Structure 1
């Protein structure tokens, strides 16, 4: 190999190797300090794109699970009102039977009527109950998204306590003015039908709570799996990266030493000139 002064190939090669090792060392430091394998898009452009989509899907799954939980709370509140409605109807049924007692005089029956009228008003009041400003009862179904993409839904049946159709709501029993009376009801048939309607509403309510509970379980599981998949793409393996850090650290130190030696090799030419 010729001895030259203008070009120090060994020093150039050592400098290039040192620069590459130092760049890899900085990347390892960045990954370990951030906990992420993808610090910049250049580290893994395709992986970053997939990671962003998985992360967004996981967040949507969490949000959908929260929405389901809120809906279940609304259904629980609704069922609480329906339970009270059933209790009121049972008392009305009891009053209707007592009213038919032939030993009661007109004053006694008027007293039963007074309570019956108040219970009618209470039924009308219960039918207007709300949850966070949303009506618990009405003629419109409620659609609840139960998937992260919003395509999977659960439809909650309409529960209309104030319907005048005796086979659907409370018929003529719920009256905010309390215009009805035990004598106008006549028999317990209307009350029995109203009780059946409320029982059906509670059964539907329970079925909907059960289904939403399972839907929430699916979202929770999916969210965990999405986060795990995203972790495999973006999270750094600390054990592996620590090994790489040690490697690059040694190469940087050795490269620095060798560059120093390469820079001194040109001095050999000076000895030939002495």
Structure 2
């Protein structure tokens, strides 16, 4: 090997190796300090694109789950009002039966009517209940909740039955009166009261079925969100154990590379001994 002064090949190679080790050390430090394998887009351009989509899908799943929770609260409030309506109808049926007692005089019957009239007002009030400004009861297209999207892509939808509690045929409208001016004597038979009670029972059954389905839909969204986050984690999250091992490796190489570069720079001085 010739002895030269102008070109120090060993020092050049050592310098290149040191630069590469230093860059790798910096990359490991960035990953460990951020907790992410993708610090810069250039680290994994394709992985970054996939990660962004998975992350967005997970957030949409969480939002859809939140919407389901809100609609469930709406249905629970609706059921609470229906349960009260059922109790009111039960009391009306009881009043009507007692009103038929032939031993009751007109004053007694007037007292039954007084309570019935108050119950009419209460039924009218119940049919107008709202949840956060949204009507609990009404026919389709009247401002009630009619559906909720239960998938992160918005494709799957659960229909919510519009429950017209104020209807005189499908609800309890035949017994509700804001003025409360009715009389038990105007109810010809118990059949109409039983129909009203059955209508409320049907509404509650539909409400329970809808809550049940929404519960299962929420479970699916929760599972999907967890799996999306898990898949995203495999792309972007750094394995601390593995990366700390790489950090130790690059740290040693940087130190040894620095030492070898120093040695390579000193090797050219051997030429001085030949020209002294």
Shift of 1:103: 1.4
Give the TM-score, by structure 2 length.
Answer: 0.96
**Corresponding residue for 1:163?**
167
Shift of 1:108: 1.4
**Corresponding residue for 1:228?**
230
**Alpha-carbon separation, structure 2, partners of 1:249 and 1:232:** 26
Shift of 1:179: 2.9
Count how many residue pairs are aligned between Structure 1 and Structure 2: 272
**Corresponding residue for 1:143?**
147
Shift of 1:12: 0.8
- Higher mean alpha-carbon deviation, 256-265 vs 2-11, is at 2-11
- Higher mean alpha-carbon deviation, 211-220 vs 137-146, is at 137-146
Give the TM-score, by structure 1 length.
Answer: 0.97
Shift of 1:138: 1.1
**Alpha-carbon separation, structure 1, partners of 2:212 and 2:188:** 39
Shift of 1:162: 0.9
**Corresponding residue for 1:47?**
47
Shift of 1:180: 2.1
What is the aligned counterpart of 1:196 among 195, 198, 207? 198
Shift of 1:226: 0.6
Q: After TM superposition, what 4+ stretches of structure 1 lie above 2 angstroms from structure 2?
A: none
Aligned CA RMSD, in angstroms, stands at 1.0
**Corresponding residue for 2:95?**
95
1:85-129 Cα distance to aligned partner (Å, 9 max, x none): 000000000111111111112121111111111101100000011
**Corresponding residue for 2:256?**
254
1:125-173 Cα distance to aligned partner (Å, 9 max, x none): 0001111111111112511111111111101100111113x2x111321
**Alpha-carbon separation, structure 2, partners of 1:6 and 1:181:** 117
**Alpha-carbon separation, structure 2, partners of 1:149 and 1:120:** 45
1:12 aligns with 2:16: no
What is the aligned counterpart of 1:181 among 180, 183, 187? 183
**Alpha-carbon separation, structure 1, partners of 2:257 and 2:108:** 108
Structure 2: stretches of 5+ with no match in the other structure: none
